[in-house]
Amino acid sequence: MRKIGYLRVSTHEQKPDRQIEGLRSLCDELHIETLSAVARSRPVYNSIIARLERNDMLVVWALDRAYRSAKDALNELDALMDRGIYFQIANMDLDTTTPHGRFIYTIMSGAAQYEREMLIERTKEGIAAARLQGKQLGRPPKLTPVQLFDAQFRLEQRTATKAAIAAEHGIAPWTLTRAIKRSMTVPAH
């Protein structure tokens, strides 16, 4: 029986170290994917699934590293079982080959989906609260209001091009265009 480990992190800033340490001693191979759980296509995951053979085992550190919803997790487990492939969640030492294991898996799939949905809801609430407090969200502007005013003035007077102004500030011309458009739609306080 081959044990193939699937690891996933959402961004390049996230490190899979905890997953690697947890799976290294359990698996014959480890495969790491860097993308959001909700991505439509997961090339590393799909490649692993295509290569798995009867009596192989897919191993993940935690359920949320592999599946985006309870429905997704349950459908994938059924598809794997139909092919004679085992599935293990390492941090739970969960064996899905038994009725008890599948029952716990079903509950954990729902719990993982609930946790993800609650995180999304809390994030939205936090963003809304920050906006009500007047906090600016996202990246800071590349140009100060004075620099933006100067750029608009020079463009209107035709004393400089967007490309030249952008180069002066070390930004792309498209960034300058967006900043100008945004400044025209911001309501006065």
Of residues 3 and 136, which shows the higher confidence score? Answer: 3
**Sequence spans of domains, the chain:** 3-119, 145-185
Rounded to two decimals, the pTM is: 0.62
Cβ-contact 6, 33 below 8 angstroms:
yes
Per-residue pLDDT of 52-61, as tens digits, reads 999 999 999 9
SS3 state of residue 141: coil
φ, ψ for residue 100, nearest 5 deg: -60, -45
User: Per CATH, is 3-119 categorized as 3.50.50.60?
Assistant: no
**Residue pair 165/155 in contact by the 8 Å Cβ criterion:** yes
**DSSP for 21-87, written as a single string:** HHHHTT-SEEEEEES-TT-S--HHHHHHHHH--TT-EEEESSGGGT-SSHHHHHHHHHHHHHTT-EE
Give per-residue pLDDT as tens, 91-109: 888 878 788 888 998 898 8
Residues marked as catalytic: 10
Give Cα separations from 73 to 18, 25, 78, 140 (angstroms): 22, 24, 9, 39
More confident residue, 10 or 38: 10
Tell me how far CA of residue 170 lies from CA of 23, 72, 77, 85, 175, in angstroms. 44, 45, 51, 53, 10
- The per-residue pLDDT for range 7-37, each reduced to its tens digit, is 999 888 888 899 999 999 999 999 999 998 6
Tell which residue, 60, 160, 81, 73, has the closest CA to residue 111: 73
52-81: average pLDDT? 89
